[in-house]
């Protein structure tokens, strides 16, 4: 898909126009186009081919022409014209806090600075001193900004940060003087990667609270410790800031620091039109404070429902909230069982009984045992014979468990082979309750081949869920190329679900694809792919992705009663596809 590339070109055009001091209206229209394209759930090429570019809100005739030109020729003359004589890094520099377009232009003119490293060098040599508008303080701020920019480039996976932050919150919530504590920022929005972490706390005796925070055992370095704010680096390298605010402003501060930027800008706009002002301290009319203790206060005074944090990306949630049609998002407590867990029969570490006991402790009614099949050799995948034995063994355990309402579900994470056939014969697949189809090899096949492979497995009457549908590993590789539209179309038609794999490094489907799945009528499974019991908590991450995708309980097959789930799986065999 060219969506991201085209979005960043429009973003760049807006940046350069801003550098050149063009009028705000034009700049903003390009920024809006960038954001709208970045959020699209469909391939922009297909929209263009259907002649529907201008149906996208925010995209006018001239934007559409530029997009068409790029799709047809691989070039966009407007972009080339604007970028003429401007270096990429100069454009990046204007986003560094303490700089801004005017300073960047001045530094370029006076000192020929085009790069961040040149700027640092110039500061070191004292060459900025005496330039117009550059006081000592300003130089300090620029240096701070550069440092901040560098760390912001290093984002951390949500699943790495999440448990660390939970531990901090759990340790601080009982500290004397703390009346409320809550993480904010992209972590609260469950974005798949997070930058620095902001935790907000309402309470008195700020200094004492901050001291408890900076002295937590996992802190590796104290960066700052004041009365209302402390800042530390944790063992994982994560920077965490704790702010102590007045009880009276806790809600507004939480709203403010949760973001996203786009969401908050849109809210401020609505406030302005109503003659109101919102800030981290509250919502105001003139000097009069109308609210701020609760997050709801802000939204209510703006005539809106409280928007769940995961939706706050300005992707239509504000309008939905104004019109009272926010979805009732899926919650962790709706999940009735994990649909993808490995046991010690292959590369997992736990026995069936251990898994059953643990799943019950998670409040589940069932848990799916889905071990690998023979093609995945490193995992000692099962062949037909061993899989049949596994089925027998699970039957025995279930007999033992019967009476307390919990059961293990017999499944297999069956490899989709290079030619699209399944790794286990249909005869044996037929004996399972659920079959997961997975690609673990042949990633370098062409988009067409991979797509055909997945389509073939979707058309196998025994395959119920395609797991980790794009194969990405966030820390290591992008996924294989696959035509998601075709996959989703077939999945919807055949009653095959797609997985949100909750494993921290996968989160696959991601939020954009999961939202698209819903739009295309595909049912979604949320599962952990746990190989150890202490990985089953990651269900929360998958639920976060689903919430970001606007999914509700009915969209997710493992929120259904077990009977309905198994019927959904069996239905496919009845109506052979």
Using CB under 5 A as the criterion, which residues of the chain lie in contact with Zn ion when the complex forms?
413, 438, 529
> In which order are the strands placed within the sheet that holds 197-203?
178-183, 197-203, 239-245, 229-234, 219-225
237 Cβ contact list (under 8 Å, min separation 6): 156
DSSP 4: H
Q: Could you tell me if 396 and 370 are in contact, meaning their C-beta atoms sit under 8 angstroms apart? A: no
Closest approach of Zn ion to the CB of residue 419, in Å = 19
Closest approach of Zn ion to the CB of residue 518, in Å = 23
- The CA angle 456-572-564, to the nearest 5 degrees, is 135
Q: Give 252 or 346: the residue with its C-beta nearer to Zn ion.
A: 346
Q: Give 241 or 413: the residue with its C-beta nearer to Zn ion.
A: 413
Closest approach of Zn ion to the CB of residue 415, in Å = 9
Q: What DSSP line would sit under 327-346, residue for residue?
A: --B--GGG--EEEEE--TTT
Closest approach of Zn ion to the CB of residue 553, in Å = 24
Q: Select from 511, 454, 512 the least CA-distant residue to 480.
A: 454
Closest approach of Zn ion to the CB of residue 450, in Å = 15
- Cα(162)–Cα(173) distance, integer angstroms: 16
Q: Give 258 or 502: the residue with its C-beta nearer to Zn ion.
A: 502
Q: Could you tell me if 375 and 423 are in contact, meaning their C-beta atoms sit under 8 angstroms apart? A: yes
- Cα(102)–Cα(94) distance, integer angstroms: 8
Q: Select from 111, 94, 97 the least CA-distant residue to 140.
A: 97
Closest approach of Zn ion to the CB of residue 18, in Å = 45
Q: Give 39 or 505: the residue with its C-beta nearer to Zn ion.
A: 505
Closest approach of Zn ion to the CB of residue 346, in Å = 9
- Cα(144)–Cα(402) distance, integer angstroms: 62
Closest approach of Zn ion to the CB of residue 327, in Å = 29
Q: What DSSP line would sit under 80-124, residue for residue?
A: HHHHTT--HHHHHHTTSTTTHHHHHHHHHHHH---SHHHHHHHHH
Q: Give 183 or 471: the residue with its C-beta nearer to Zn ion.
A: 471
Q: Give 314 or 508: the residue with its C-beta nearer to Zn ion.
A: 508
Q: Give 63 or 372: the residue with its C-beta nearer to Zn ion.
A: 372
* Cα 519 versus chain centre, distance: 18
- Cα(361)–Cα(381) distance, integer angstroms: 28
Q: Give 302 or 533: the residue with its C-beta nearer to Zn ion.
A: 533
């Amino acid at each position: 898909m060219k969506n991201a590339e085209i979005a960043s070109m429009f973003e760049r055009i807006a940046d350069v126009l801003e550098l050149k001091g063009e009028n705000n209206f034009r700049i903003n229209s390009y920024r809006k186009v960038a954001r709208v394209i970045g959020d699209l759930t469909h391939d922009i090429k297909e929209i263009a081919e259907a002649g529907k570019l201008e149906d996208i809100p925010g995209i006018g005739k001239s934007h559409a022409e530029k997009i068409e030109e790029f799709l047809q020729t691989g070039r966009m003359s407007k972009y080339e014209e604007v970028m003429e004589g401007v270096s990429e890094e100069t454009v990046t520099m204007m986003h560094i806090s303490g700089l801004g377009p005017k300073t960047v232009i001045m530094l370029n003119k006076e000192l020929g600075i085009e790069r961040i490293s040149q700027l640092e060098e110039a500061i070191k040599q004292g060459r900025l001193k005496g330039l117009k508008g550059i006081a000592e303080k300003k130089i300090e701020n620029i240096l701070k900004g550069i440092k901040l920019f560098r760390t912001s480039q290093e984002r951390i996976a949500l699943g790495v940060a999440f448990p660390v932050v939970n531990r901090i919150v759990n340790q601080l919530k009982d500290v004397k003087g703390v009346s409320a504590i809550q993480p904010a920022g992209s972590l609260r929005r469950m974005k798949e990667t997070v930058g620095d972490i902001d935790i907000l706390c309402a309470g008195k005796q700020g200094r004492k609270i901050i001291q408890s925070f900076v002295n937590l055992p996992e802190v590796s370095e104290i960066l700052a410790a004041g009365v209302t704010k402390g800042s530390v680096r944790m063992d994982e390298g994560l920077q965490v800031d704790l702010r102590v605010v007045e009880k009276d402003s806790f809600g507004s501060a939480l709203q403010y620091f949760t973001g996203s930027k786009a969401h908050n800008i849109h809210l401020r706009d609505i406030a302005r039109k109503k003659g109101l002002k919102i800030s981290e301290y509250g919502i105001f009319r003139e000097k009069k404070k109308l609210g701020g203790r609760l997050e709801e206060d802000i939204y209510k005074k703006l005539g809106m429902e409280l928007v769940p944090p995961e939706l706050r990306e300005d992707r239509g949630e504000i309008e939905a909230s104004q019109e009272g049609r926010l979805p009732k998002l899926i919650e962790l407590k709706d999940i009735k069982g994990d649909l993808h867990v490995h046991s010690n029969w292959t590369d997992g570490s736990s026995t069936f009984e251990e898994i059953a006991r643990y799943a019950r402790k998670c409040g589940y009614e069932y848990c799916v045992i889905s071990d690998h099949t023979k093609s995945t050799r490193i995992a000692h995948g099962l062949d037909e014979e061993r899989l049949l034995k596994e089925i027998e063994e699970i039957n025995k355990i279930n007999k033992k468990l019967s009476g307390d309402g919990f059961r293990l579900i017999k499944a297999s994470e069956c490899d989709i082979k290079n030619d699209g056939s399944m790794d286990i014969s249909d005869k044996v697949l037929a004996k399972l309750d659920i079959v997961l189809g997975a690609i673990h090899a042949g990633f370098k096949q062409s988009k067409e081949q991979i797509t055909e492979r997945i389509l073939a497995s979707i058309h196998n009457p025994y395959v119920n869920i395609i797991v980790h549908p794009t194969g990405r590993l966030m820390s290591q590789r992008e996924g294989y190329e696959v035509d998601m539209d075709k996959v989703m179309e077939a999945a919807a038609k055949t009653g095959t679900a797609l997985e949100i794999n909750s494993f921290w490094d996968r989160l696959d489907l991601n939020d954009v694809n999961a939202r698209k799945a819903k739009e295309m009528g595909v049912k979604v499974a949320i599962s952990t792919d746990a190989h150890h019991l202490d990985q089953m908590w990651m269900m929360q991450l998958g639920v976060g992705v689903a919430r970001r995708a606007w999914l509700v309980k009915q969209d997710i097959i493992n929120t259904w009663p077990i009977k309905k789930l198994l019927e959904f799986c069996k239905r496919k065999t009845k109506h052979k596809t």
